[in-house]
Amino acid sequence: MTTKRSNEWPEQIERLYREQGRELWALFYAHCSDAERAHDALQEAFTRLQEQNGEPIRDMRAWLLQVGRNWLRDVARRQKIAARSSEHLDLHPGEEGEPILSLVRQELQDEVRKAMDQLKEADREVLVLRYALNWSSHRIAETLNTSSSAVDMRLSRARKRLAEILERVGIEK
Amino acid sequence: MSARSSQQKPRWSDADVDSLLYDFFRQEMPRELQKDVASETRSQEVVSSASRPAATLERPNRSAATAGLTVAACCLLLAAVVFLTPNRNPASPDNQVVAAPQPNERGARPAGTNRSEPENREAVAAVPPRRASAPVPGGVVPVELQARTFWGVTVTFEVPSDFDWEQWGNIQINELPELDDAPRGIVPPLDDDRDE
């Protein structure tokens, strides 16, 4: 995809964001296991895209992915990634009617987040593509340049590892 | 004795982890990136070359069952259309394709046929025409099949210019070569209006 005129950018970028935002967010999430940071990386990538001022880009998706990942690496270099705590941004405030339920849910969310953080990036990658994007094994395989059976195997292994971590830290189902 | 080990705790099954992760990512994903099914489907058609194929938005372990149910429903519907059609003639011989303006006197119709089926005349060009051959007295007439609302197919004939439409009656189809989904039973002619 090649850009043409800079005055077309806002619409183009908006459309691209709608089309590819979820997938890119998921891949950034797999990289950093932090929803907020993945979102920041996504915004950063699209901001940089806007700053390109119509410079032709051959593979827009790959470019955005690279920019976002580079940004994540820079951020990780500059600051230590501290364990997420309960002050983690509540992305869905007010969703639960019951405060206690909301608290319990938030706690579980934090624990799963920590558990996800302990997984390898490859494991996180298949999990986020399957469970955040609802992708089939076939589609995941195409994106990751592997086979569906390899994806299924990796998914199974990742689920098992996650379950082990959850059991180890005492999270009950 | 350390009785308080983790042996009492229920283990996480794959289904438990499935459920947990779907919930987890639903909460985790920023709201502005959460979209409805329709827009997701649209966008997936445009997305990058790396994610070309259409993806189901249902959970993958449900999609196979859904597809199976759809296929079963279609089969049942097709069977119902074929066997509940009023013109179906159960006494007809099997393994015979007959498309027959019978060689009787002008104006007469073959016995047991019925020409007026107005609801069957609505041709729909949903399926490209297909051809088969049907033996008739005196030779083989090519048959062109087209989509039609009522039956799913319409039978028309390529006939010589001197074809006698007055003698044209319904045809009996029991089997058509190379056409597994052909309807069985009596199919009325498409151009009934030519009788006038």
Query: Residue A161: what pLDDT?
Result: 92
Alpha carbon distance A100, A102 (integer Å): 5
Interchain contact, B48 vs A20, CB within 8 Å? yes
Flag whether residue B63 sits within 8 Å of chain A, measured between CB atoms. Answer: yes
Residue type, A28: F
Give B50's contacts in chain A (Cβ within 8 Å).
61, 142-143
The residues, ordered by sequence, that sit 6+ positions from A30 with a Cβ below 8 Å of its Cβ are A121, A124, A125, A127, A128, A129
Answer yes or no: is pLDDT of A127 > 90.
yes
Query: Residue A58: what pLDDT?
Result: 82
Query: Residue B75: what pLDDT?
Result: 61
Answer yes or no: is pLDDT of A153 > 60.
yes
Q: Which residue of A105, A134, A170 is in closest CB contact with B59?
A: A134
Alpha carbon distance A170, A126 (integer Å): 24
**pLDDT per 10-residue tile (average), chain B, 196 residues:** 50 86 88 61 41 38 55 66 52 40 41 40 40 46 45 53 60 53 50 44
Q: Which residue of B24, B30, B55 is in closest CB contact with A39?
A: B30
The three-state (H, E, C) secondary structure of chain B, written as one string: CCCCCHHHCCCCCHHHHHHHHHHHHHHHCCHHHCCCHHHHHHHHHHCCHHHCCCCCCCCHHHHHHHHHHHHHHHHHHHHHHHHCCCCCCCCCCCCCEECCCCCCCCCCCCCCCCCCCHHHHCECCCCCCEEEEEEECCEEEEEEEECECCCCCEEEECCCCCCCHHHCCCEEECCCCCCCCCCCEEECCCCHHHHC
Chain B residue whose CA is closest to A21: B33
Answer yes or no: is pLDDT of A122 > 80.
yes
Q: pLDDT tens digit string along A79-121?
A: 765 545 544 555 555 554 567 777 777 888 888 999 999 999 9
Query: Residue B109: what pLDDT?
Result: 41
Give B20's contacts in chain A (Cβ within 8 Å).
112, 166, 173
Alpha carbon distance A54, B156 (integer Å): 58
Q: From residue B108, how far is each of B104, B105, B146, B169, B189 by CA, in Å?
A: 7, 6, 27, 9, 15
Interchain contact, B30 vs A25, CB within 8 Å? yes
Q: pLDDT tens digit string along A6-54?
A: 445 578 788 888 888 999 999 999 888 888 899 999 989 988 888 887 7
- DSSP state for residue A152 in the 8-state scheme: H
- Evaluate if pTM is beyond 0.90: no
Interchain contact, A19 vs B46, CB within 8 Å? yes
State ipTM: 0.72
Alpha carbon distance A68, A25 (integer Å): 9
Which of B7, B19, B43, B48 is the best mutation test for A, with the most CBs of A within 10 A?
B48
Chain B residue whose CA is closest to A131: B22
